[in-house]
Amino acid sequence: CGGGARVSTQLQAPTPENRRMPTQEEIFAELGIFGDVATAGGGGGAGKSGGAAINAEELGNDSTMEELWAMKAMEHSEIHFNLLCAVDPRLLKLTPKDDVIYSSFRKEFPDFNVGKLVENDLKSPDAKEKWRPFCMAFEKEIEDYSFATLVRIDSEDEYSESNTILVTRIQFFCIEIARNREGFNDSIRTKFKPKPRTKKNRQ
């Protein structure tokens, strides 16, 4: 846990014409995750998601796993942003443990800027050292806590290639719960409208 990596892909299903998705090994290396990691899931909340722990070394450059991760991550992003477009973010509950996550996050990172993320606050060696034990504390509390998840850099803008960074799921929850409670997501409903999900995603 404890890294942030820019994702050089637009939020659409990967195709040969798109830029190469990062491999699972690259994703895990950027996030500072080693050994067994959760590689399935992608739902908007905590709890059971049917994820299974798979060793990163076993994944290698498996293009199928890369595409599955990309589709899951982008589906999660689409669902999350549609919620922000439709519901007062102060009323949103992302997990059953929002209160615990938020209080723990602000106790450990009182000055962390969730309005507009700074990559070094997530990715620098010092930041990784501070984030790692924090994330590990939620290993038994949040299903797939280390799953690679997309988060928006600027809280006032939508998901896009230039406004996306890769974090662990627990980091995503910390950032977005804080944004909901501290008013940083308030402008989304007035600036954007929910987007219809694709037929493929609805299946």
Per residue in 13-49, pLDDT (tens digit) is 333 344 444 454 554 454 444 444 333 333 334 333 3
Mean pLDDT of the chain: 76
The secondary structure of residue 89, as a DSSP letter, is G
> What are 97-146's pLDDT values in tens digits?
999 999 999 999 999 999 999 999 998 999 999 999 999 999 999 988 88
Fold that domain 5-202 belongs to in CATH: yst0336 like fold (1.10.3560)
pLDDT at 68: 77
CA distances from 196 to 13, 83, 109 (A): 15, 12, 36
Answer positive or negative: Cα dihedral of 45, 47, 52, 58: positive
Task: Give the pLDDT score at 63.
Answer: 65
Q: What type of residue is 114? A: V
pLDDT(51) > 90: no
Q: What is the mean pLDDT of residues 143-151?
A: 89
Instruction: Output the pLDDT for position 69.
Output: 77
pLDDT band of 62, cuts 50, 70, 90: low
Structure tokens that stand for 25 in this block: 């090994």
Boundaries of every domain in the chain: 5-202
Numbers of helices and strands, H then E, in the chain: 9, 5
Residue 66 has pLDDT above 90, yes or no: no
Q: And the tokens for 79?
A: 């669902």
Q: How confident is the model at residue 154, as a pLDDT?
A: 97
User: 60: which 2 tokens?
Assistant: 């290698």
Q: What is the pLDDT of residue 151?
A: 95
Mean pLDDT, residues 176-195 taken together = 94
Does the predicted TM-score (pTM) go above 0.75? no
**What pLDDT is recorded for position 73?**
82
SS3 label, residue 149: strand
Q: How confident is the model at residue 183 (pLDDT cuts 50, 70, 90)?
A: very high
Q: What's the pLDDT at 25?
A: 54
The residue with greater pLDDT, 139 or 199, is 139
pLDDT at 190: 92
pLDDT at 67: 74
Please provide the DSSP assignment of 167-181 as one string.
EEHHHHHHHHHHHHH
SS3 (DSSP) at 166? strand
